[in-house]
Amino acid sequence: MTPFKKAIIASVMSASVLACFPSAASAAPAVVSPTIAALPDFADIVDRTGPGVVNIRTTERVRSGQAQGGADDQEMQEFFRRFFGVPVPRQQQPQQPNTPRNNGKPNSSQQEEVPRGVGSGFVISADGYILTNAHVVEGASDVYVTLTDKREFKAKIIGSDTRTDVALLKIDGNNLPRLTMGDSDKIRAGEWVLAIGSPFGLENTVTAGIVSAKARDTGDYLPLIQTDVAVNPGNSGGPLINLKGEVIGINSQIYSRSGGFMGISFAVPIDEALRVSDQLKASGKVTRGRIGVQIGEVTKDVAESLGLAKAQGALVQRVEAGGPAEKGGLEAGDIILKFNGATIDRPSDLPRMVGATKPGTKATVNVWRKGSARDVSLVVTELEADKTAKQQDDQKAMPEVAPNALGLIVSDLSDAQKKDLKADNGVLVEAASGAAAGAGIRAGDVIQRINEVDVKDAKQFNQLVAKLDSKKRAAVLVRRGDSSQFVPLRPSAGNSN
C-alpha cells in the first residue's frame, strides 16, 4: 500500500472515531437530569387549618321505650347500612328500667336523646358560620359542634340543600378560627390536596392525596372534584385543602363496594358551595330555575344520522305539559345546543345552566331540529325548592303521630311517586325511631313488604305491624333508590298505632 493510500485511510478512520467518540474540545452538552421535587411537608398547613375544622355530632329525640337493637342485631344493621352506603351511627341504648311513669303507665311524652351520627365541618366566618354536608345533619333533632380546643356548641341549622349536599350551620361564638376559601375553578388534576375530618368519630384526622379529576359528573347540579384522598364515614362535611392552606371543596361522597375507602372520593367545589351558602344565609333555601324537559345523551350515531358535526348537546326526550319548554315551543326530539349563548357539551351542562338562572328570566335556547338550528325563547320558572329550616321547624311543631311498634311513621305513596318508583305498592317512611332507626331505616325509604305480605297503604301496614309477635323478628322489605333489601326487625311490646 502506498504512503498516500495509508494517509487517506488514516484520515477516514480518525474522522470516524471522532464522530463516535467526540474529543473533550468538541464534546456534546451533558444530559440534564430532571429536577426531582421533594414530597411536600403538610405539617405547617395542618397547624394553620386544623383549628378551623370541627367535629359534628347529631342526635335524635325518641320516645322512651322505642330504643331497640341489641348486640345480636348489630351484624345485620352494619350490613344494611353498608349495603345502602350510609355511615354507621352509634347504637341506641335500651331504655333504663327507672323511666318515669304516669299512674303505672308509660309516659308517652317522655323522650330521650340518642346519638344519630357523626360528621365534620369547617368555620367560614369568625362569628360562627359553619359549612358541612346536608346529609350530615339530615333528620337530626339536635346538632352539636366541637372545636379542637374541646369547646362544644349547640348549632342551629340555617338551611340545607340536598341537591348539592351543602348545609349551613351557626353557633354562638366570636373570634373563631376560620379557614381561607380558595378557587375551585383553578385546581388541576395531579395537585396535592389534604382532607381533615373525623372519620369514624376520630377527631382531626389528616389524610393526603391528589386531585384525580376536576369535573366529574355524578349529579345534576354540579361537577364534583374527584380525589384519591382517604375519605371514610365521618369525614363527610370536612374541608378539602390545597397546598396554600385554602379550602377548595367539601368532602362529600366515596365510591365503595364494601362501605370502606377504595381510592375514589368526591368533594363539592367550594365555589358552588359558597354560592349555595350565601342563598341559605339570606333566605334559608336555594332558588333554582327550571324549563320542564327530560333530557338524554346525544350519541355519535345519533349525531351523524341527524347531520350534526359532532356528538354534543342534550336530547329532549320528554316535554312537560304546560311547562316553560312546551310554552316556548320545544319539542321531543329537539337537541339543545346552547342555552343563553353558552354551549351544551354534555347533557349534564343544561340542568346546571338552567338551575343557575333566576326564575322569571327570559332565555334563548338554540336547538337542532330537522337538519337545521333555530332559536326558541322561553321563560324560566322556579324549581321546587328544598324545605327551608323554618319549614322544618314548623313541621316539628305540628302535632306528633305516634310511631308503630317497629318505630315507623308512614304515609301512602302518591300516584306520581308510584310512577317514579315503577312500583304498584308500598308506603313512604316519614320518620323512623326505635328498632327501625337502629337498623338504619330513615325518612324517604319505601316499605314494600312485611314478611310475605305486600304493603298496600299506611292503614294496612300499621294493622299488620300491630299483629306482629314481639318475640319474633319480622322481615321488612325496604327500598332506597333503586336497591331493595330485607331488614329483620323485632317490634316493641305495647307500642303501636
User: Integer distance in angstroms from the first to the last C-alpha of the chain?
Assistant: 121
Task: Note whether 194 and 122 are same-domain residues.
Answer: no
> Residue 397 CA to chain centroid, in angstroms?
28
Q: For the chain, how many structural domains are there in total?
A: 4
Domain boundary among 382, 398, 428: 382
Q: Is the pLDDT of residue 156 over 90?
A: yes
Task: Note whether 396 and 477 are same-domain residues.
Answer: yes
How does DSSP assign 271-324, residue by residue? HHHHHHHHHHHHHSS---EE--EEEE---HHHHHHHT-SSS-SEEEEEE-TTSH
Residue 492: what pLDDT? 82
Return d(Cα 382, Cα 431) in angstroms, integer. 28
Domain boundary among 170, 190, 215: 170
Percent pLDDT > 90 in the chain is 41
Return d(Cα 93, Cα 97) in angstroms, integer. 12
Is 176 a member of any domain? Answer: no
Task: Note whether 277 and 319 are same-domain residues.
Answer: no
Return d(Cα 263, Cα 198) in angstroms, integer. 18
Span 204-256, pLDDT tens digits: 889 999 999 887 776 556 789 999 998 887 888 999 999 999 999 999 877 65
314 is in which domain, residue-wise? Answer: 289-382
Instruction: Give yes or no for a contact between 259 and 80, defined as CB atoms under 8 angstroms apart.
Output: no
**Mean per-residue pLDDT, 388-392:** 47
Is 462 a member of any domain? Answer: yes
Task: Note whether 376 and 477 are same-domain residues.
Answer: no
238-257 as b/e: b if 16+ CB within 10 A: bbbbbeebbbbbbbbbbebe
Strands 246-254 and 180-181: parallel
Written as nine digits, the cell of 246 is 385554602
Task: Note whether 293 and 345 are same-domain residues.
Answer: yes
Among candidate residues 203, 239, 220, the one with its CA nearest the CA of residue 289: 220
The owner of cell 338524554 is: 296
198-202, 222-226, 378-382 — which is least confidently predicted? 198-202
Domain boundary among 358, 382, 406: 382
Is 322 a member of any domain? Answer: yes
Task: Note whether 352 and 372 are same-domain residues.
Answer: yes
Task: Note whether 396 and 470 are same-domain residues.
Answer: yes
Is 28 a member of any domain? Answer: no
Span 86-127, pLDDT tens digits: 444 444 444 444 444 444 444 545 667 777 788 999 999 999
Phi then psi for residue 350, to 5 deg, are -65, -50
Maximum average pLDDT range among 2-6, 57-61, 78-82, 186-190: 186-190
Task: Note whether 209 and 224 are same-domain residues.
Answer: yes
Bridge-partner residues for 181, per DSSP?
Answer: 247
Task: Note whether 314 and 221 are same-domain residues.
Answer: no
Span 247-292, pLDDT tens digits: 999 998 776 555 556 678 899 999 999 999 999 999 988 889 999 9
Whole-number Cα distances in Å, 404 to 59, 166, 199, 407, 459: 21, 32, 34, 5, 11
How does DSSP assign 342-394, residue by residue? EE--STTHHHHHHHTSPTT-EEEEEEEETTEEEEEEEE-EEPPPPPPHHHHHH
Domain of 229, CATH number, reads 2.40.10.10
Task: Note whether 137 and 56 are same-domain residues.
Answer: yes
Domain of 329, CATH number, reads 2.30.42.10
Task: Note whether 378 and 310 are same-domain residues.
Answer: yes
SS3 4: helix
Task: Note whether 243 and 310 are same-domain residues.
Answer: no
Is 134 a member of any domain? Answer: yes
Is 353 a member of any domain? Answer: yes
Is 443 a member of any domain? Answer: yes
Is 127 a member of any domain? Answer: yes
**pLDDT, the chain, mean:** 80
Span 287-333, pLDDT tens digits: 899 999 988 888 888 888 888 888 999 999 889 889 999 999 999 88
More confident residue, 300 or 15: 300
Dmax over CA atoms of the chain, in Å, equals 134
pTM: 0.62
What one-character DSSP code corresponds to residue 109? Answer: T
Active site residues per annotation:
135, 165, 236
